[in-house]
Amino acid sequence: MALRPGTHTLGPEHGTLTVRTGRTGAAAKAGHDLLFDVTAWQATLVIGEDPAQSTVMLDADAASLRVREGTGGMQTLGDDDKANIEQTIDEEVLKRQAIEFRSTSVDAAPDGAGLSVQGELTLAGTTRPIAFDVAISDGGALSGSAVVKQTDWGIALYSTLFGALKVADDVEVVFDITPPTG
């Protein structure tokens, strides 16, 4: 593992934190699969000599999700469409509540090339356990993903067209980060 022991404070200047949604329902073809950039976040990694002495913390601004792309659908998403989606997420889905992750345990990944992280995710005012793996490249870059089932956090699935088009329950959160060297 090429990540040196110590405290690493990371944010958007070090990489990306994205959220990918899908669509479901009888009118799914009319909607879009969306990719959002989380534009305001901070992670603190405390890396111990032994992975079990490590901690991971993340704070993200729920109002900072920005639509990067919308694929599928019957029409291309325009700037007004993107702004309306962002406003709906802010006001109706995440309700501008804090997004926080705090690790409860960190272990070396079974392949030895990363970390297995377990912790508590607070989303839309509800805290639940979640686990994910972090791959660490030889150069120290971090990558990984986690699937968040929205209803597990009490989030009502957004729907339109009288429920014929809905956002899929499973949302994928992906990170690709290159910590500063030196």
pLDDT tens per residue across span 29-44: 878 899 999 999 999 9
Tell me if 155 sits within 8 A of 124, measured CB to CB. yes
- Residue 148 has what pLDDT? 97
Residue located via tokens 């804090």: 98
* pLDDT score recorded for residue 28: 73
**Intervals of the chain under pLDDT 50:** 1
> Cβ distance 150 to 171 under 8 Å?
yes
Domains and CATH numbers, the chain: 6-177 (2.40.128.110)
